Amino acid sequence: MAGAHGPGRPHRRQAAQALRWPGATRPRLLLLDEPLAALDARTRLEVRAQLRRHLAEFEAVAVLVTHDPLDAMVLADRLVVVEHGRVVQEGAPSDIARRPRTDYIAQLVGLNLYRGQAEGHTVRLAGGLVLATTEDLSGPAFVAFPPGAVTLYRDRPSGSSARNLWRCEVAGLETHGDQIRADLTGELALAADLTTVAAAELDLHPGAAVWATVKAAQTHAYPA
């Protein structure tokens, strides 16, 4: 943890000095390369909030380079995502978070993402599996939904209103915040979030067979 003489104070001072450049020497372009990388978790929260305020007041252009998706989402007005040296998506943080276009971006923003061919309210994936959606589209399309939209059952549900139903197997479990994230394989590979109580009641463990459902209203389809 950064104390009075820890790593946090120099970083805060440097950020403030850079963004409050005096007089006529004020820069027209400021590059911030991983400005929060060396900070511990608590100091990082504080410095991120301060940096956000300073950037809002900065009257020129600031370019922030970071590998941390939270830094990017909180600090930027516009994002440019680079994968393997190539720009794969750019736009406002809210647009990218809602409509990711690569698996990497989907993982960063916490969504399950699939690409297929849309026909009305369905999207057919490469393997022939069909996902039901509420959007009416035609042609290449993405379908995304959060792990929290997935409901798991040990037996095939008979009273569920969900139009998307897949037989899966638990490949792994990990703590994700205050929930358990299940990595599923089978008819459709996906991530599902559930409470620790629900995971215990379902007796989830690697290799366990489960049924996964997602309501069409909880998916989001958009042109590819």
67-97: pLDDT as tens digits: 888 888 888 889 999 999 999 999 999 999 9
Contacts 24+ apart (CB under 8 A), 79-88: 81/105
Q: Where does 113-223 sit in CATH, by number?
A: 2.40.50.100
Q: Where are the domains of the chain?
A: 8-77, 113-223
Calpha distance 135→137 (Å, rounded): 6
Q: Whole-model pTM? A: 0.78
Nearest to 166 by CA among 141, 142, 146, 191: 191
Q: What is the reported pLDDT for 18?
A: 56
Burial of 156 (0-12, 13-18, 19+ CB in 10 A): exposed
Superfamily of domain 8-77: P-loop containing nucleotide triphosphate hydrolases (3.40.50.300)
Nearest to 69 by CA among 55, 84, 79: 79
Q: Is the pLDDT of residue 50 over 50?
A: yes
